[in-house]
Amino acid sequence: MKQLPLPPALGTDLQQVEQIVSERTHSRAAVISVAGSRLLRPQGVRLRAALVLMAARTGAYSVERVVHAAAAVELLHAATQTHEDLVDEAERRRGRPSVGEWSSGISLMVGDYLFALAAGEMALAPDARVIGYYAQAVQRITESTLVPTLPLVPLNAALSSHLARIGGTAAALVAAACQAGGACAGAPPAQIETLGKLGYALGLALRLGDELQDFAAGEGSAPLATSLRAGTVTTPLIFAAHFGDDMRLATALDSGEPGEQAWAAAEVAAHGIAPTRAELGRLVGQARATLSELPSGAGRNELALVADWVAARA
């Protein structure tokens, strides 16, 4: 998949964000060294930080005013990813402890440390509302992560509940990033609200793209379907349950039996991929419609490129 295209000027400003994240996480402590190698070196663009900068470019842009808010969102993302190791609901649901690279104690300490670093960056942002946007996003992430797993059917209830859940776990921080960028650039409240709606739609679409990629062909054209092996409910699975054999899919999700999971992956490929792509397209359409409410200029153009990139991931 092609990386998100960025104009050179924005790439230069993102390097400043990278430098701040690197400086803040540099430590002799072994725990933080592990965090730096595992969580804080992205393979591609720091998307959430980039969205902060792009949103700021819809207002009175100054990299000095927005760089700390951009660094904060990357630290928050790393912190929440770390704490997900402590709340693996699929493994808990199946009655087995989650087994990861770290112990629970180390994950907790690293996550808390990263949250503290993020708080320090928020305090350096020029608008106090940045703290509120990020704090509310973290609250939503926590609340949504702790929501019990819901049934696969009926379709409307299952899809609505799932989108609400991933809206909290995935889209809330993206929305907050866009709001923070607008606030740092002195955008009016209505524009900041619009940026939040845009970010939320993009965040949901990004997560659906991740879910689709999970069922993409792997080596030997075998579906990867790591979500099935983890017992995780996804949008493609919900659609497959509606259009296919919902009872057997539910059993396969809980069984952990390779043969049943292979069958489930094929069932999702047959019934769940196309409607999930359509849902992703609907969300991208919402984002593009919201773009029209923003002032014309570099920021809006760059955010439109993000929407195009998200759509192409499907």
**CATH, residue 118:** 1.10.600.10
Answer whether residue 278 is part of any domain: yes
Q: Which residue has the tokens 């997900």?
A: 84
Helix 63-83 vs helix 104-124: crossing angle, to nearest 10: 160
**Residue in 79, 189, 174 with CA at minimum distance from that of residue 127:** 189
Domain containing 100: what range? 8-312
Answer whether residue 218 is part of any domain: yes
Q: Is the pLDDT of residue 82 over 50?
A: yes
Q: Is the pLDDT of residue 104 over 80?
A: no
Give the CA distances from residue 213 to residues 45, 218, 274, 279, 310, in Å, rounded to whole numbers and listed in that order.
18, 10, 13, 15, 12
Contact, 53 vs 10, CB < 8 A? Answer: yes
Answer whether residue 2 is part of any domain: no
At residue 1, the pLDDT reads: 52
Q: Is the pLDDT of residue 195 over 90?
A: yes
Q: Of 92-96, 174-178, 268-272, which range is least confident? A: 92-96
At residue 35, the pLDDT reads: 57
At residue 269, the pLDDT reads: 93
**Residue in 208, 300, 233 with CA at minimum distance from that of residue 90:** 233
Q: Which DSSP letter does residue 3 get?
A: P
Report residue 24's pLDDT band, with 50, 70 and 90 as the boundaries: confident
At residue 105, the pLDDT reads: 61
Q: Is the pLDDT of residue 78 over 60?
A: yes
Q: Is the pLDDT of residue 210 over 70?
A: yes
pLDDT (average), residues 165-193: 97
Q: For residues 99-123, b (16+ Cβ closer than 10 Å) or e, as one string? A: eeebeeebbebbbebbbebbbebbe
Answer whether residue 214 is part of any domain: yes
Q: Is the pLDDT of residue 303 over 80?
A: yes
Q: What is the pTM of this model?
A: 0.90
Answer whether residue 3 is part of any domain: no
Report residue 48's pLDDT band, with 50, 70 and 90 as the boundaries: very high
Total number of domains in the chain: 1
Answer whether residue 1 is part of any domain: no
pLDDT (average), residues 7-19: 92
pLDDT digit string (tens) for 108-167? 777 888 899 999 999 999 999 999 999 999 999 999 988 887 889 999 999 999 999 999
Report residue 294's pLDDT band, with 50, 70 and 90 as the boundaries: very high
Answer whether residue 146 is part of any domain: yes
